[in-house]
Structure 1
Amino acid sequence: MERILVDSSNVVSVGYDENASTLEVEFNSGIYNYYDVPMYIYEELMASGSKGSYLHQNIKNNFSCEKIV
């Protein structure tokens, strides 16, 4: 999955697979996949002023995830 570099202290890059509804986030500590994430969540994340805060408030505890790297 292709990821886009973002300006964040904790998040390096973000990618999204619309067909699989999978959000891929590269943190400083590793890469995680979040599953069954609607497109609007990805769009809101990318538009947010703070990627880390948005992830913490709207994604981390709301979608299943696994560390892939």
Structure 2
Amino acid sequence: MPEHHRLRLKNGEYHRIEPLMPADPVRGRRWADHRGTLEAIAWKYRTNSPWRDLPRGARLVPDGP
């Protein structure tokens, strides 16, 4: 199992907050994967690391400057 498995949201955790996520817009581009975005944000705050250190295989890698 990948080392960063402990940094992922459990299914129960995500299903509890999933109804709070915005729906896809009627016009324009679809939203990014909500679960991946939340996992990346949680990782950032749990580790206090810069975005560039997001583990390989993470669902979201934000664009740099």
TM-score band by shorter chain is under 0.3
Larger of the two Rg values belongs to structure: 2
Which is richer in helix? 2
Which is richer in strand? 1
TM-score (norm 1): 0.27
